[in-house]
Amino acid sequence: MPDFVTLVVLLAAVVLAVPVAKRFGFGGPLGYLAAGLIIGPGGLGLVTDVEAIRHVSELGVIMLLFLIGLELRPARLWVMRRSVLGLGGAQVAVTACLIGAAAVLLGFSPAAAAVAGFGLSLSSTAMVLPMLAERELLTTNAGRSAFSILLFQDLAIIPAVALLPLLGHGAGEVPDAGTAWLAVLKAAAAVAAILAGGRYLLRPVLRAVDGARTPEIFTATALLIVLGTAIFAAWAGLSMSLGAFMAGVLLSDSEYRHEVQADIAPFEGLLLGLFFVSVGMGADVAALMVEPLRYLSLALGLMALKAAALFGLARLSGLRPGGSARLSTVLSQGGEFGFVLFGLAVGVGAMTGEHAAAAMLVVTLSMIATPFVFAAEERWLAPRLIVKPARPFDSIAPDGEPPVIICGFGRVGQIVGRVLRLRGIPFTALEQSAAQVDFVRRFGNKVYYGDPSRLDLLRAAGADKAKVLVVALEDVEQSLRVVELAKRHFPQLVIHARARNRRHAHFLMDRGVTHFVRETYDSSLRLTGGVLESLGLPPEETRHTLDTFRQHDERTLIRQHAVHHDENRLIQTSRQAAAELQALFEADREEREEDRDRKTV
């Protein structure tokens, strides 16, 4: 029964504090922190077992890293390598040196200063990404730079923890060479096992579970993948977060990526909120009350130093002043991995308990202050430095419940819309490019600005009552998100989609879309027909050639759908299809020659 009382207290505090924090523009993380401070040992004392809650809430950080990996396909990760290693590495190196030097001046030993410098150079992934997402800033230059820096920090914590015993003395023992090599081999074997499992097991398992058509079992499978990989990585001596991140990256190219993301996100949000509640509950309020000016000064000094270093590095990397200010503000706090690092440092004797407790309190205070500072920057500084504000989404007025919704009003969507208008069929068009919306409106087109992959916008456009959804978006990922939303929430819609290429067509087929057109396919065949006729081929023979090619290509497209995730088999089937088509044309040529010979005789 007491456990249920604790749960009710936690939920009540969150329900009350988070909406109030958001109402005043400070974001959800501050609400969670405030809830923890109020109900924790330093507040009303309603909840005292902070460690138990912290252990459970660490699952939120693990799931956050999994979702980060899910957004980072290997190809994208390779493209980001310069910003991750360059800007991220520079931020950690410069900030750690500055903070380490300041720690020496404050009386820390060299080893403790090194730990404090690195630990305080880290920022809070769990706080920064939700704050940026709430304000839809993750796709801005500052948001992408912040993501790169946070990713480097999350990866850098792994070797830092491994090297920590080298700084210790007394309480910790430095392992001998044999033990160290055994640990390295164990970790390498675990990484290899995770990679192999992700490559050969994840898709078949998810395909089998999805075939059962039981949503709750699919959700359970997604949770099992995240937690199982994290625990396996921890058993091998790696970070649980790193294991979850690797699992996300391995699933990022899967056709089940968006469904897994939708299933995990609610758990991640709630558990991540619980993590911030535990941070607030764990704040050493007694020490703060004894020396408030000291700790507040240290926290503000940390934020000012990190912000100054980040601003300079951001400007050197090419960010504008507005983006640099936003980046330096949002990353100026300490991070959750600092708690882990400082606790381990005490265990190996690299840092005294007093210094570790002080560093943890400074991190907590900086995390509490960040939403206030970031809200002030967004309200007063950003409008002055970032000249062009983001355009709000257009509100869609009821218009007789049009039976057709067109997502994407570019080259393809406009042609569909023009024909529908000629036939007197009403439609609602959604377009994400503000410049495109303004352009087509000048010609009398009725189109609304907004992101068609947003569920609320599709509902406002009347997707629950429409009959046909035309997905004519250029971006492949966005078009797949729209299809998945429509399949899940508006099953009555008949979906007609624009496919950029064969791979996009296969992805659409994965999601049950049967009405799709490859955007350059028909025009390419018409062009080829003109070429053949210009070379003297009779019109009937030209049509027969094109029809033969079309029928064979469509059969090949359907046949390759079963193996399109396996590159080797896809190449093999492409070669077989080319040979079959060659044989088909050869047989057709021989048949025509025999017909001519018979007519000649």
Phi and psi for 566 in degrees, rounded to 5?
A: -110, 105
pLDDT at 104: 93
pLDDT at 115: 92
331: CB partners within 8 A, 6+ apart:
91, 123, 128, 146, 149, 150, 306, 310
**Cβ-contact 290, 26 below 8 angstroms:** no
Burial label for 415, CB within 10 Å (0-12, 13-18, 19+), is exposed
pLDDT above 80: residue 184: no
Q: Between 301 and 398, where is the model more confident?
A: 301
- Assigned CATH for 404-600: 3.40.50.720
Mean pLDDT of 75-101: 86
Residue 379, Cβ neighbours under 10 Å: how many?
10
- CA proximity to 529, closest of 515, 548, 554, 516: 548
Q: Between 13 and 315, where is the model more confident?
A: 315
pLDDT at 179: 60
Q: What is the DSSP-derived secondary structure letter of residue 176?
A: P
pLDDT at 588: 66
pLDDT at 324: 92
Helix runs in 377-444, H state only: 382-385, 411-422, 434-441
Q: What is the pLDDT of residues 346-359, one digit of tens each?
A: 877 889 888 988 99
pLDDT above 70: residue 395: no
pLDDT at 450: 84
SS3 at position 498:
strand
The percent of residues above 70 in pLDDT, for the chain, comes to 88
The span from the CA of 301 to the CA of 416, in Å, is 59
The span from the CA of 517 to the CA of 497, in Å, is 7
The span from the CA of 102 to the CA of 267, in Å, is 39
Helix runs in 336-379, H state only: 336-348, 353-376
pLDDT at 92: 95
The percent of residues above 90 in pLDDT, for the chain, comes to 22
Q: Which CATH class is domain 2-176+183-384?
A: mainly alpha
Q: What is the pLDDT of residues 304-316, one digit of tens each?
A: 999 999 999 999 9
Weakest-pLDDT range from 46-60, 81-95, 133-147, 464-478: 46-60
Q: What is the pLDDT of residues 442-460, one digit of tens each?
A: 766 678 888 888 888 888 8
For the chain, the structural domain boundaries read: 2-176+183-384, 404-600
User: Token pair for residue 344?
Assistant: 């381990």
Task: Provide DSSP, 534-574.
Answer: HTT--HHHHHHHHHHHHHHHHHHHHHHHTTTT-HHHHHHHH
pLDDT at 172: 44
pLDDT above 50: residue 170: no
Amino acid in position 540 = E
Q: Between 471 and 16, where is the model more confident?
A: 471
Q: Between 543 and 433, where is the model more confident?
A: 543
Weakest-pLDDT range from 222-226, 281-285, 341-345, 561-565: 561-565
Cα distance between the two ends of the chain:
100
User: Token pair for residue 13?
Assistant: 């505090």
- CA proximity to 338, closest of 167, 171, 153: 153
Assessment of whether the complete model's pTM goes beyond 0.85 = no
User: Token pair for residue 41?
Assistant: 């040992």
Amino acid in position 458 = L
pLDDT at 495: 95
97-102: long-range contacts, CB 8 A cutoff, minimum separation 24: 98/305, 98/309, 99/302, 99/305, 99/306, 102/301, 102/305
Amino acid in position 402 = P
